[in-house]
């Protein structure tokens, strides 16, 4: 069952930061495909939402970028900055606490077990 | 799906008129080609590209909006990166150059004749030097335009910062140094202000050139 994208909009930055922490550096299309693979297609991260989020994280200094020429075209890779490496820890902690509270509020725990 | 050069050219022409900046164009083009590369059971058709643009990116209008937001953020990024680059001038390997300039300032301070003419000559050179970021920026901008390159998303930020030194350098001149200056100060004070401006402008100009070359010149000179 596909999950409505509105549900994960608030955690989009955390998802991106976490993926980059696990994978080192990634380019835009790779991120969308990784999300699709991990969630088995339940979550579809649209490029219209991904790129503004990446640019915002870059502007906040949490991401750095590097370009490489691949198959005669320029590919822009995103990677965590030093500040981003610190931020990902607190963002994940924040997300965990939010999920715990959500489980309590929506009584989801029995289903999750 | 493996694309031929003709098909790639068709895609470049299809998306070519929409993104204003090189970075957005590169990212869009790479995304479309990566996406098409994963489609195995479909034959190439330009409608496929239109479908990717509309479904994944929300259409050309949305791309233009995203690009405009990115441009605003890029302006702030240039300011932040320039400040960072200026700090780097106080760390090795750049510190050597900074120390040489500082030593030159100390020598001028200790051995200057006490004539205000010397101060005006040094300050005049600072004011002339304050134009170099702007000349460098517009020179490169015209060069890239001639080569048919799109502007970089960071161009606006660099254009803005290329004028900053001019704005900063003129105020102390009319406050402390000019014959009809607002404040009449002693020779040593005027010399300290002048040498401070000389030192600051050397840091600023070197930082600007380094940052510009790293971010824009390399990107657009491909």
Nearest C-alpha in B relative to A29: B31
Query: What is the per-residue pLDDT for B7?
Result: 92
d(CA B84, CA B88): 6
Query: What is the per-residue pLDDT for B202?
Result: 95
Q: Are residues B100 and B172 in the same domain?
A: yes
Query: Chain B interface, mutation test: which of A28, A55, A82, most B Cβ atoms within 10 Å?
Result: A55
Pick the CATH number of A5-112 from 1.10.10.10, 3.40.50.150, 2.20.28.10, 2.60.120.560: 1.10.10.10
For residue B76, pLDDT beyond 90: no
Asked if B34's CB is within 8 angstroms of A29's CB, the reply is yes
Asked if B35's CB is within 8 angstroms of A29's CB, the reply is yes
DSSP H stretches of helix in chain B: 5-16, 22-37, 46-57, 59-88, 95-111, 116-129, 132-146, 155-162, 164-172, 187-212, 218-220
Q: List pLDDT tens digits, range B203-214.
A: 999 999 999 998
Asked if A27's CB is within 8 angstroms of B30's CB, the reply is yes
The token pair that represents B162 in the structure block: 């290329």
> A28 CB near a chain B CB, below 8 Å?
yes
Segments making up each domain of chain A, as ranges: 5-112
From A65's Cα to the closest Cα of chain B, the distance in A is 11
How many domains does chain B contain in total?
A: 2
Query: What is the per-residue pLDDT for B168?
Result: 87
The token pair that represents B146 in the structure block: 């001639």
Q: What is the mean pLDDT of residues B11-21?
A: 90
Q: Are residues B134 and B180 in the same domain?
A: yes
Q: Find the Cα–Cα–Cα–Cα dihedral A38, A44, A46, A49, rounded to 10°.
A: -80
Q: Coil, strand or helix: which one is A66?
A: strand
pLDDT under 50: residue ranges of chain A: 1-2, 112-113
Is there a contact between A57 and A70 (Cβ–Cβ < 8 Å)? no
Query: What is the per-residue pLDDT for A104?
Result: 84
Q: What is the mean pLDDT of residues B158-180?
A: 87
Q: Can you tell me the ipTM of this complex?
A: 0.82
Structural domain contains residue B197? yes
From B26's Cα to the closest Cα of chain A, the distance in A is 6
- Please give the mean pLDDT across all residues of chain B: 89
d(CA A1, CA A9): 18
Q: Are residues B97 and B191 in the same domain?
A: yes
Instruction: State the pairing for strand pair A25-27/A73-80.
Output: antiparallel
Among B residues 114-173, those touching chain A with beta carbons less than 8 Å apart: none
Q: List pLDDT tens digits, range B34-68.
A: 999 888 878 888 999 999 999 888 899 999 999 99
Query: What is the per-residue pLDDT for B175?
Result: 86
d(CA B85, CA B83): 5
Count, residues in chain B: 222
Query: What is the per-residue pLDDT for B11?
Result: 93
Q: What percent of chain B has pLDDT over 70?
A: 97
- Does residue A67 have a cis peptide bond before it, meaning omega lies within 30 degrees of 0? no
The boundaries of the domain holding residue B45 are: 5-57
Structural domain contains residue B185? yes
Q: Are residues B82 and B179 in the same domain?
A: yes
Q: Are residues B121 and B23 in the same domain?
A: no
For residue B83, pLDDT beyond 90: yes
């Amino acid at each position: 069952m596909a999950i409505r994208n509105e549900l994960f909009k608030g955690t989009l930055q955390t998802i991106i930061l976490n993926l980059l922490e696990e994978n080192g550096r990634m380019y835009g299309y790779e991120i969308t495909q990784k999300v699709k693979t991990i969630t088995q297609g339940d979550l579809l991260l649209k490029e219209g939402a991904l790129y503004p989020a990446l640019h915002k994280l870059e502007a906040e200094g949490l991401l750095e970028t590097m370009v490489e020429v691949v198959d005669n075209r320029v590919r822009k890779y995103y990677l965590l900055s030093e500040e981003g490496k610190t931020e990902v820890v607190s963002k994940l902690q924040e997300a965990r606490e939010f999920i715990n509270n959500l489980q309590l509020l929506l009584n989801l725990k029995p289903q999750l077990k | 799906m493996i694309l031929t050069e003709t098909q790639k050219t068709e895609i470049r022409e299809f998306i070519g008129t929409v993104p204003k900046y090189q970075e957005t164009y590169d990212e869009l083009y790479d995304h479309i080609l990566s996406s098409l590369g994963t489609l195995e059971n479909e034959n190439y058709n330009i409608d496929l590209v239109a479908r990717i643009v509309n479904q994944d990116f929300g259409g050309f209008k949305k791309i233009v909006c995203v690009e405009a937001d990115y441009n605003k953020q890029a302006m702030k990024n240039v300011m932040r990166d320039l400040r960072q680059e200026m700090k780097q001038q106080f760390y090795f390997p750049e510190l050597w150059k900074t120390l040489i300039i500082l030593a030159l300032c100390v020598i001028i301070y200790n051995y200057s004749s006490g004539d205000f003419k010397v101060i005006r000559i040094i300050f005049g050179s600072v004011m002339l030097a304050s134009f170099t970021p702007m000349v460098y920026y517009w020179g490169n901008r015209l060069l890239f335009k001639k080569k048919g390159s799109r502007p970089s998303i960071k161009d606006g930020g660099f254009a803005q910062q290329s004028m900053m030194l001019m704005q900063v350098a003129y105020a102390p001149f009319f406050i402390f140094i000019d014959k009809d200056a607002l404040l009449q100060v002693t020779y040593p004070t005027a010399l300290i202000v002048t040498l401070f401006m000389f030192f600051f402008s050397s840091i600023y100009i070197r930082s600007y050139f380094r940052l510009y070359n790293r971010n824009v010149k390399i990107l657009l000179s491909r």
